Amino acid sequence: MVQYMDNQSGFNQWRQMNVTKKQSKFSGFFWWLVLFLFAWWIMGAWFKPQNTEIKEVAPISVEQSKATKRNLVNEDVSFDVQGLRISNVSLNKHKKDSKSEEHVSLLDKENNFVEIGYVSSDIVVPNINTHWEMKSGEMHWDNPSVHFARKISVNGYVINVTDIIKNKTNHEINVAPYVLMTQSANDKSSVAVETGGVVYANSDLDYISWNKLNNKSFAYSSVNASFGFAEQYWETIASVDAKDQTISMKKSGDLYLANTNAAPVKIAPKSQSEINTYMFAGPRQSDVLNVASHNIPGISKTMDYGWFWFFAQPMLWMINWLYALVGNYGIAIILMTLILRLLIWPLTRKSYVSTMAMQRMQPELQRVQKLYANDKARLQMEMMKVYQTHKTSPMSGCLPMLIQIPIFFALYKALIISVPMRSAHFLWISDLAVMDPYFILPILMGATMWVQQYLQSPKQTSNTNDIAASTQRAMKWMPLLFTVMFAWMPAGLVLYWTVSNVFGILQMYIIKKTIK
């Protein structure tokens, strides 16, 4: 081919005749493209939140507060209030594990808190050691220039801090709200779930892993924002109802620090202003987060459904709906598995029929292999003709497994983010969100997978050129591999796969009985 492409070739002469005209068009397009990409890069660099350390406006101090501590309780949470700080949040409806009577606690370690305060260059504002006077359940503090009244209310897992600031002077004052959140630095990343810092700014959610926070600081500017820290099942998110916020997040010593500084609020002489700050401390559960999103922007997006969110979200909904009917998550998973298998029955049936056709065509394949054993190219061509004649493929038997791959990953994600699943019982399993402690389910899964593979595999042939035989030899180790791999998977996921295999075996038996 190269010999026809030298300088004397007709192609090269034609290219030289047309290069001037085409080059001019292409050149113009190329430069427009370069200018567009350069402008795009400039705009992105200009508007992208700067992930660099910024100068703090609010005073960052984690020293112990000397203010009086009191405890507030509602049906969902109980927490301590110590001056400007909220800590020791207990989730009254969630136990630490299935064997514990203690409730899940957030911000319960030393120097873990959410501090909601103000800074001002015009007046003296309360600090972490300020003694507040309690009147009718509200906090009050006065100085000659201003009066602060703070009311704390709770709706579900959302703590609302309402500050009314009265300007007693004859001139305008400026008060800038801030929120500081601290988290102990001994938190570990969770497999397949986004954990660490969470920032919602400029209508975009950004996860910052613990490892990233160990190495650098991050900063964001936004009008409507929220921020906090997320674990596998729980999260603490705060949002101040103020404009022009600057959010920063970094590690300092043994703590992760996250804070937001809002633009100063102008309060006219002899008038007052109300500022609301919202704090969520609770489970990463879609229905709970949807309620909290009425006050905290972007918090509903912190549910990490993963890449296959379009499967994971409805599957989690289906499991919860079935649980409401039967009262057990193990049975709910079994019912969901049967529903999914019935939905893909037509595709699975077609795959099984194709696999049975391959079993019947093995004598013809063996004849072709013997006839063209010394002509590899002709052998492959003739074998493809056989497959086309029987309208099947050596990979057709893998279709049910390929169909279930996105379902598998989506269900895995749904199980490890489901808060109710973490303590769900089923038979000998005390927690469907963790591995089977006795490895019974993984062994059953491997055994049923082997039976299913045996039923739908074509008979082996001795010729190594047989594509079906090569595929079968590669696939025979899959049950053992999956047994080892699934041994450490959530028990709910292994339950799904085992029930799916049993259903596949029954389906194969029915197809063999009904099709000649």
Residue type, 39: A
* CA distances, 7 to each of 10, 18, 21, 22, 44 (Å): 9, 15, 20, 19, 45
pLDDT tens per residue across span 251-282:
988 889 999 998 889 999 999 999 999 999 99
Is 74 strand, coil or helix? coil
Cα 490 from chain centroid (whole Å): 17
CB atoms near residue 492 (< 10 Å): 28
232 with 370, same domain: the answer is no
Query: What confidence score (pLDDT) does residue 18 get?
Result: 41
426 with 390, same domain: the answer is yes
276 with 363, same domain: the answer is no
Q: Beta partners for 238?
A: 227, 279
Angle between helices 376-389 and 362-371 (to 10 degrees): 160
d(Cα 149, Cα 144) in Å, to the nearest integer? 15
Is 419 strand, coil or helix? coil
Which of 125, 118, 176 is closest to 146 using CA atoms? 125
Residue type, 226: S
Query: What confidence score (pLDDT) does residue 432 get?
Result: 83
What is the domain-level CATH number for residue 204? 2.70.98.90
Give the chain's end-to-end CA distance (angstroms, integer). Answer: 53
* CA distances, 329 to each of 209, 302, 326, 334 (Å): 31, 24, 8, 9
Q: Is residue 33 domain-resident? A: no
283 with 374, same domain: the answer is no
d(Cα 419, Cα 292) in Å, to the nearest integer? 16
pLDDT tens per residue across span 35-69:
545 554 444 444 444 443 334 445 566 777 777 88
Which residues fall within 8 angstroms of residue 400, CB to CB, at 6 or more apart?
344, 347, 348, 351, 352, 504
Which residues fall within 8 angstroms of residue 36, CB to CB, at 6 or more apart?
none
289 with 370, same domain: the answer is no
Which of 420, 116, 458, 443 is closest to 283 using CA atoms? 420
* CA within 13 Å, CB half, 436: 23
Q: Is residue 31 domain-resident? A: no
Task: For residue 74, give both structure tokens.
Answer: 């509602």
Using the 3D structure, point to which of 282, 302, 322 is the last residue of a domain: 302
Q: Is residue 40 domain-resident? A: no
Q: Is residue 189 domain-resident? A: yes
Secondary structure letter of residue 48 according to DSSP: S
295 with 337, same domain: the answer is no
- Per the structure, the count of domains in the chain is 2
240: left (phi over 0), alpha (psi -120 to 50) or beta: beta
79 with 218, same domain: the answer is yes
CB atoms near residue 186 (< 10 Å): 8
Query: What confidence score (pLDDT) does residue 401 get?
Result: 63
Residue type, 217: S
Query: What confidence score (pLDDT) does residue 497 get?
Result: 86
Q: Is residue 22 domain-resident? A: no
CB 4 within 8 Å of CB 15: no
Angle between helices 345-360 and 362-371 (to 10 degrees): 50
141 with 167, same domain: the answer is yes
CB atoms near residue 304 (< 10 Å): 21
377 with 439, same domain: the answer is yes
Low-confidence stretches of the chain (pLDDT < 70) are: 1-61, 98, 186-191, 355, 359, 390-401, 403, 456-475, 515-516
Angle between helices 345-360 and 491-514 (to 10 degrees): 60
Query: What confidence score (pLDDT) does residue 123 get?
Result: 86
Residue type, 236: T
Q: Is residue 12 domain-resident? A: no
Query: What confidence score (pLDDT) does residue 157 get?
Result: 93
Query: What confidence score (pLDDT) does residue 299 get?
Result: 92
Using the 3D structure, point to which of 302, 333, 363 is the last residue of a domain: 302
Using the 3D structure, point to which of 302, 320, 335 is the last residue of a domain: 302
> Phi/psi of residue 53, each to 5°?
-70, 140
Q: Is residue 275 domain-resident? A: yes
196 with 117, same domain: the answer is yes
Domain limits for position 449: 309-514
Cα 97 from chain centroid (whole Å): 22
506 with 357, same domain: the answer is yes
Burial (CB < 10 A; 0-12, 13-18, 19+), residue 337, is: buried
CB atoms near residue 474 (< 10 Å): 9
Is 119 strand, coil or helix? strand
255 with 149, same domain: the answer is yes
Provide DSSP, 304-317.
---TTHHHHHHHHH
Q: Is residue 293 domain-resident? A: yes
Q: Is the pTM of this model over 0.85?
A: no
